[in-house]
Amino acid sequence: MSRTLERVSTGVSGLDEVLNGGLVAHRTYMIRGSPGAGKSILGLHFLTAGIDAGEDVLYVNMEEPVAEIEQNAASLGIDTEGIEFLDLSPDSDFFADDLSYDIFSPDEVEEEEVTDQISERVADVDPDRIFVDPITQLRYLSPDEYQFRKEVLSFMQFLKERGATVLFTSQDTPSTPDDDLQFMCDGVVELNRQEEGRTLSVPKFRGSGVRDGSHALRIDDGGIEVFSRLVPRQHGAEFTAETISSGVPELDRLLKGGLERGTVTIITGSPGVGKTTSGIQFMKEAAGRGERSVVYSFEEARSTLLHRCESINIPVREMIEKGTLAVEEIEALQLSATEFAHRVREEVEENDTQIVMIDGVEGYKQALRDTDSDLVRELHSICRYLKNMGVTVVLMNEMRTIVGEFRLTEAGLSYLSDNIIFIQHLEIDGRMRKAIGVLKKRTSDFERQVREFRITEYGVKIGEPMDGLRGILSGSPTWETGNRPTAANLPRNQQPLHHQESPHRNGTPSDRENAPRTDGRDW
């Protein structure tokens, strides 16, 4: 019969999540990492969490003086009041005093003195939590490795018998590795500091499962924050698999009604073709239903995006003021993919967000601090999580060419998508035009014709099917014999879009009649 293990918080919420609830009480754990990785800061979090829980805590500092520890903690906003210290750090008197033994060959006299001090202080404080920083200082007080290991094991056993939960740091160097300490303790938390950013992993944890892999770590005002990797299967919500409209009748017709909730749509096309505008059109319609959407902009300044949308009759500022839209500009190299995934998860779970747009995939890969393989894996996790939560996902994928041979995606992400919409620049009779079509729709049928696409001052406008044109996906289509349209031989409602354009500011009657709906909407 299994029993529930008592847990104690590390003081870092993200780390408790990685450990599935925190450290197991009355056991010993090692924090390892390079200088500056954050080991001592993590120990401070562990002790202050104990104070918050009404426990007695002890900091055994064997290297850094108490004054410096308190100063560094204050700079991060960590309050050390209530922490008991046992200061075993060396001071200048160590070299000035007339020692009774050789300082370069420490013997049992100094070792016994240190262990006696620790035993007396532990008996005096009777702490629930103990942090030793670093325990490898005991190595220099032992005559050999055997005695060091024996001393550490005895020390840990003594502390555990007192009912304490123990955290200690190690200094791992090529000449003195800490492999032996990893075998002695109940768990290991490893902190890494690399060019891509800080990470945390838990290679060993007795008595419980943990979240595997590397998790993002940030040291900022307030101390350490850990962002655990997103595990999609651990999240889900009930939702109705209904179709959501774009508000543009012709676009809905291409999609046989619109996009389904809980699906991933890739809108792909060359620069400036209208991908972002088309995606925000779904958000504009969702705002009319009182639903919240969010745009994560990796490739465009927030101010530029807002100005551009307002110039084509999308009232983004009103939507933002009413809370139905959020636009977040992601600065380059400020976040890891795991941190970004955490931000998306917070947005969805705290604000009940229904549509998430990532604009765009290439910008996502360039702006976040990870390898390509990690970025694609994390993007896959984000999309799976959002689908499980019933959120509609729109990914913008930019093709590098303006016209020419069509390629589905540059990033090889088509396997992520339930729907693929393409918008293509065309050169027809010496004029630049645009076409839109649907290449894939997993949940229903779709219109297999290509329509002309245009962005006007009234918003997105989609024309009739471009019948008679061949080679559209090549970027240089040609008319079939006898099918070239002219203004003279076509009715007004079937003329090509460029024949309907008007030099007048208010546009043509056709523009106004077919503009996306704006009346009666509570944005």
Number of domains in the chain: 2
Q: Is 522 inside a domain boundary?
A: no
Amino acid (one-letter) located at 316: V
Residues 103 and 188 in one domain: yes
Structural domain harbouring 364: 243-514
SS3 169: strand
Question: Is 223 found in the same domain as 248?
Answer: no
- For residues 335 and 374, the answer to whether their CB atoms sit within 8 Å is no
Task: Indicate whether 454 pLDDT > 90.
Answer: yes
Tell me if 472 sits within 8 A of 424, measured CB to CB.
yes
519 in a structural domain:
no
Q: Of the residues 162, 194, 229, which one is the last residue of a structural domain?
A: 229
Quick: pLDDT tens for 272-327. 899 999 999 999 999 999 999 999 999 899 999 999 999 998 999 999 999 999 99
Contact 270, 434 (CB under 8 A): no
Distance CA 150, CA 162 (A): 19
Residue 267 and residue 135 share a domain = no
Same domain? For 68 and 132 the reply is yes
Residues paired with residue 268 on neighbouring β-strands, in sequence order: 397, 422
pLDDT (0 to 100) of residue 518? 43
Long-range contacts, stretch 235-244, CB < 8 angstroms, 24+ apart: 235/345, 235/385, 235/388, 235/389, 236/388, 236/389, 237/388, 237/389, 237/390, 238/390, 239/389, 239/390, 240/390, 241/443, 244/282, 244/285, 244/286, 244/355, 244/392
DSSP assignment letter at 481:
T
Asked if 160 and 291 sit in the same domain, the reply is no
Could you tell me which residues come within 8 angstroms of residue 448 by beta carbon, excluding any fewer than 6 positions away?
A: 437, 438
Mean pLDDT across 52-73 = 94
pLDDT for residue 215: 95
One DSSP character per residue, 364-376 reads HHHHSSS-HHHHH
Helix H segments across 222-314? 249-254, 275-288, 302-310
**pLDDT, tens only, 26-35:** 999 999 998 8
C-alpha span between 260 and 81 (Å, rounded) = 55
Lowest mean pLDDT among 62-71, 75-84, 494-503: 494-503
Q: Say which CATH number the domain at 129 has.
A: 3.40.50.300
More confident: 157 or 45 = 45
Say if 471 falls within a structural domain: yes
